Amino acid sequence: MSKKTRRQFVACCFLSSPLPQRRHKLKKIHFSTTSIAVTELQFRIAQMKGFYREEGLDLETILIRGSVGMQALIGGSVDYASAAGSIIAAGVRGAPVKLVLIVNSKPQFDLVGQPDIKSVPQLKGKVVGISSRGGAVDLLTQLILTQHGLTPNKDVTSIVIGTPEELATALRTGRIAACLLSPPRQLILYREGFSKLGYSGDYLASYPSGELAQPTKKLELIQLKFSPSSEPA
């Protein structure tokens, strides 16, 4: 994580409430992430390096599936979330959420298939796994299938499996024919003989990941608090 990115992230958290009265009193922040993946690496490094504590923050990372994490964010159970697909989909539908930080501009997923499947069209009539309905994995999977002439949930059935680890296990056991996985999981599976059916970045040139989102209301309060008009005369 660059120094600029680090500052942007901690500023979003730090400015959302009054400053700690004492340096040793940390502000508790609940941050939901969809998986333990390379797209979340920058947040983990920042925590291990103590960057948050240096800024007066006690960050608790909670693993929540995409669409469920979005509900937790809107409902106030968590302060921030990093579920790209769910955040964008919810924002389009008018949900009160805003993206305030994007780390990666391209998707990091590969579509990984069973060893005997060599192309996306061969998935017709088969089952693919996703992490949650309406999340990044679901939306990207649908996009890839559509661009190969397959109708999601008609030509190809999608079922909710769960975390990337659970998706990889479902692939190994033959429960599903394919799924999207991010590094390093797909690289491990390739060594085991599984097929690379496609790179998501070839289907969607720009897609935010490793992002940070917060409720619109909280962001508006921050802007109001630190706007020039709010300063005393």
Query: What pLDDT digit, counting tens, does each position of 208-220 carry?
Result: 665 666 766 555 4
- Selection from 11-20, 162-171, 215-224 with the highest mean pLDDT: 162-171
> What local confidence, expressed as pLDDT, does residue 68 receive?
78
Please choose, from the candidates 100, 97, 83, 62, the residue with its C-alpha nearest in 3D space to the C-alpha of residue 209: 83
Q: How far apart are CA 16 and CA 7, in angstroms?
A: 14
Is CATH 3.20.20.70 correct for 110-202?
no
Superfamily of domain 3-105+208-230 in the CATH hierarchy: Periplasmic binding protein-like II (3.40.190.10)
Q: 183 versus 152: which is more confidently predicted?
A: 152
Q: Locate CATH 3.40.190.10 in the chain.
A: 3-105+208-230, 110-202
pLDDT tens digit sequence for 34-91: 776 666 777 888 888 999 889 888 989 888 776 677 788 888 888 888 776 677 777 7
Residues 107-125 pLDDT 10s: 789 999 999 999 999 999 9
Name 157's bridge partners: 127
